[in-house]
């Protein structure tokens, strides 16, 4: 009887399971904005799991776009809004912060640190040498990488591989394990030579293309993959359902924001006393940590229907510290009146009544 063996030195670790440490690398999930273009502020979450970093406002916009290479249907589109030359310590980028638990296979910060391979599809109206970086949670260990866009307005596939960092502190818990950044413009302390690990919080190499310096310049990116190994493998397409569930560990839209849908059930509620409405919302998937509530308030945005009666109210609050990563207590303590013990359905009344839970890194 023949016995088959697998040489782990010949394949990327994790090739038999989930390889891609990036969530929503195909840019297909956009719970927050629903494909609508946004001009982000520093730290804004955009397409699921992707965060904007910027020193100056209104220099670029981000949105989910249908422009994509073969095998994909969506990309993230970045558009420069002004011809702004970065100066001093300016920086402009998008990044994904990978949870430490997911970064464990990289073994960063140890003598067993593994090789890292990054791959992605990119298209830009500009050509030349572009840059990105990999960085730890303390923002004091980083490595800049470069890639070249050869032809304008043409999809090109890029791969970058390098040895993992054997020093520094890299979290392997529910905190930030490793961050992957793509640069749109940087200057000063945000610049570092490509090709080696060093200290600092950096994004790009000196002389790399600053997208924000050209008005209306565009860059599209999709198929982003970060994996263990010295060779990039084909993009790992997960099912839409699996990708959405992975995103919901960090952000869940409960109600509102769906075009044409003016009423969305939120939870079962009960009158704790004559003026205090409360209920328990159970997460669709366990979140990274106890989440915070993002609630859009407005006149009569919400309703409580029970026993043939209906009250309207303006907002919902979260009882911080009472819940956990699996369920939270939501309430309104001033705008509803009834009888203690009355139960019913809490719902949003208008499309703009958006209620979300966030446990982002």
Provide the whole-model pTM. Answer: 0.93
What local confidence, expressed as pLDDT, does residue 3 receive? 37
* CA distance linking residue 76 with residue 62, whole number of Å: 7
What local confidence, expressed as pLDDT, does residue 18 receive? 86
Please list the rounded mean pLDDT of every run of 10 residues in the chain (361 residues): 37 61 98 95 97 98 98 98 96 98 98 98 98 97 98 98 98 98 98 96 97 98 98 98 98 90 91 96 97 97 91 95 96 94 95 96 97
SS3 244: helix
Helix spans in 50-130 (H) = 100-103
Of the options 3.40.50.1950, 2.60.120.260, 2.160.10.10, 3.30.450.40, the CATH number for the domain spanning 51-248: 2.60.120.260
| Residue closest to 171 by CA, chosen among 112, 115, 104 | 104
Sign of CA dihedral 65, 94, 104, 327: negative
What local confidence, expressed as pLDDT, does residue 262 receive? 82
- Tokens 């040489």 sit on residue: 7
What local confidence, expressed as pLDDT, does residue 4 receive? 34
Q: What is the largest CA-CA distance in the chain?
A: 76
What local confidence, expressed as pLDDT, does residue 17 receive? 57
| Residue closest to 130 by CA, chosen among 66, 52, 204, 19 | 204
Q: What is the DSSP string of 246-271?
A: HHHTTEEEEE---TT---EEEEEEEE
Query: Facing residues of 76 across strands?
Result: 64, 221
Domain boundaries, the chain: 51-248, 251-358
């Amino acid at each position: 009887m023949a016995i088959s063996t697998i040489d782990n030195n010949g394949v990327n670790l994790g090739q038999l399971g989930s390889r891609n440490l990036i969530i929503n690398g195909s840019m297909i999930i956009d719970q927050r904005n629903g494909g609508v273009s946004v001009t982000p502020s520093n730290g804004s979450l955009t397409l699921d799991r992707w965060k904007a970093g910027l020193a100056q406002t209104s220099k670029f916009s981000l949105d989910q776009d249908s422009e994509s290479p073969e095998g994909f249907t969506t990309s993230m589109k970045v558009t420069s809004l002004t011809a702004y030359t970065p100066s001093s310590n300016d920086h402009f980028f998008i990044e994904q912060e990978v949870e430490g638990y997911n970064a464990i296979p990289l073994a960063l910060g140890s003598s067993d640190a593994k090789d890292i391979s990054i791959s992605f599809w990119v298209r830009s109206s500009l050509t030349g040498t572009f840059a990105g970086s990999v960085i730890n949670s303390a923002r004091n260990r980083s490595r800049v990488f470069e890639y070249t866009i050869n032809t304008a307005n043409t999809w090109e596939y890029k791969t970058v591989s390098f040895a993992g960092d054997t020093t520094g502190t890299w979290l392997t818990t529910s905190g930030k394990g490793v961050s992957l950044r793509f640069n749109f413009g940087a200057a000063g302390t945000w610049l570092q030579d490509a090709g080696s690990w060093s200290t600092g919080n950096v994004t790009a190499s000196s002389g790399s293309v600053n997208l924000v310096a050209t008005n209306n310049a565009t860059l599209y990116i999709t198929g982003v993959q970060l994996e263990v190994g010295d060779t990039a493998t084909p993009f790992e397409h997960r099912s839409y359902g699996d990708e959405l569930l992975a995103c919901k560990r960090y952000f869940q839209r409960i109600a509102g924001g769906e075009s044409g849908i003016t009423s969305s059930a939120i939870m079962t509620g009960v009158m704790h006393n004559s003026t205090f409405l409360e209920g328990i919302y159970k997460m669709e998937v366990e979140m990274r940590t106890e989440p915070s509530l993002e609630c859009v308030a407005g006149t009569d945005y919400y309703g409580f229907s029970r026993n043939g009666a209906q009250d309207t109210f303006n907002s919902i609050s979260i009882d911080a510290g009472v819940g956990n990563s699996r369920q939270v207590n939501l309430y309104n303590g001033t705008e509803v009146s009834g009888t203690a013990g009355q139960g019913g359905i809490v719902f949003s009344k208008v499309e703009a009544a958006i209620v979300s839970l966030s446990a982002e890194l």
